[in-house]
Amino acid sequence: MRELETLEPGHVALLGVPWDAHSSFLRGPALAPRQIRAALHSGAMNLCAENGHDLEADANWHDLGDLAIPVGDEAALATITGAAASVLARGARVLALGGDHAVSFPLLRAYGEAYPGLAVLHLDAHSDLYDELDGDRLSHACPFARALEEGRITRLVQVGIRTLNPHQRDQARRFGVEVVEMRDWQPGIDLRLAGPLYLSLDLDALDPAFAPGVSHHEPGGFTTREVLGIIQSLPVPLIGADLVEFNPVRDPTGITAALAAKLVKEILAQMLDDGTAARRARP
Ligand code: MN
Ligand code: MN
């Protein structure tokens, strides 16, 4: 990974994880990191977050580029976990760009090791708690079941969910997952979030009207403004994050790439402001 040696405590590393081998429906998210970077640096937007944090002028974040994902599941998992662990070993934090949601399991392996008591805020149309899907236990529909089984997460708070079936309700009960279904969510709802907090943001949490470039279109989701509001009002600093499930194959206009780039800016600003942005955004 380039620039790993430049990471200092408190820095944030942007890390591309182009892995979609366990997508159940469509491939494509492996193409996402380079498209998000292209949107970020296209000249169509500046690098200033809404709170005024100018990322252009901030030397505390570094783009480590894309991981080379080897063939074979065990090797791929080890590569992703190892990369995150080497960032964490330097006292820095990861903002990972998927890939599909299967990347979160190996990332949370590293995070669970480094941060006992880890809490995860998970925004998604889907709970991704399947024990297996189509016989695949590493499916992008399973990462949180795997992380919970291994005890990597102490608390999982899911928001935006609108696809629960009986199996996934059972799984949520079994693992003590706190699920705020989309039909019950309201702006400003108190999720009682506390640190250490990791954000896992699946772009299909947003309504497909706002984020058409995803594999699974699930109407009835968040507006862009609502997701920005959640990020900007987090009550504690993020110790890590992933942005997953952008599928450039379904994004001919580039609108979802622009959305992903905007979310990268806002998440980076939230991480680098170390909570000051969150305090400023709160009444
Ligand atoms: Mn997901
Ligand atoms: Mn999803």
Closest ligand to the CA of 103: 1
Please tell me the distance between residue 202's alpha carbon and the centre of ligand 1 in angstroms. 5
Please tell me the distance between residue 124's alpha carbon and the centre of ligand 2 in angstroms. 5
> pTM of the prediction?
0.96
Closest ligand to the CA of 221: 2
Please tell me the distance between residue 121's alpha carbon and the centre of ligand 2 in angstroms. 14
What tokens appear for 159 in the block?
């928001």
Name the CATH superfamily housing domain 4-117+198-281: Ureohydrolase domain (3.40.800.10)
What tokens appear for 22 in the block?
């366990």
Per-residue pLDDT tens digits for 133-164: 999 999 999 999 999 999 999 999 999 999 99
Closest ligand to the CA of 222: 2
CA pair distance 141, 219, nearest whole angstrom: 18
Closest ligand to the CA of 215: 2
First to last CA, the chain: 41
Please tell me the distance between residue 254's alpha carbon and the centre of ligand 2 in angstroms. 20
Confidence (pLDDT) at 198: 98
CA pair distance 126, 218, nearest whole angstrom: 9
Please tell me the distance between residue 62's alpha carbon and the centre of ligand 2 in angstroms. 27
CA proximity to 142, closest of 170, 110, 177, 168: 168
Residue whose structure tokens are 């708070």: 157
Per-residue pLDDT tens digits for 104-135: 999 999 999 999 999 999 999 999 999 999 99
CB proximity list for 123: less than 8 A, separation 6 or greater: 158, 159, 160, 199, 200, 201, 202, 205, 222, 227, 230
Confidence (pLDDT) at 274: 61
Confidence (pLDDT) at 283: 39
Please tell me the distance between residue 123's alpha carbon and the centre of ligand 2 in angstroms. 8
> How many other CB atoms sit within 10 Å of the CB of residue 51?
15
- For residue 281, is pLDDT > 90? no
Per-residue pLDDT tens digits for 156-203: 999 999 999 999 999 999 999 999 999 999 999 999 999 899 999 999
- For residue 278, is pLDDT > 60? no
Please tell me the distance between residue 204's alpha carbon and the centre of ligand 2 in angstroms. 5
> How many other CB atoms sit within 10 Å of the CB of residue 117?
11
Q: Where are the domains of the chain?
A: 4-117+198-281
Q: How confident is the model at residue 66 (pLDDT cuts 50, 70, 90)?
A: very high
Please tell me the distance between residue 57's alpha carbon and the centre of ligand 1 in angstroms. 33
CB proximity list for 83: less than 8 A, separation 6 or greater: 1, 15, 64, 67
Which residue type is seen at 251? D
* CB under 8 A, 24+ apart: contacts of 203-207: 203/243, 203/244, 203/245, 203/246, 203/256, 203/259, 203/260, 204/124, 204/125, 204/126, 204/245, 205/123, 205/124, 205/125, 205/159, 205/160, 206/259
**Mean pLDDT of all residues belonging to the chain:** 95
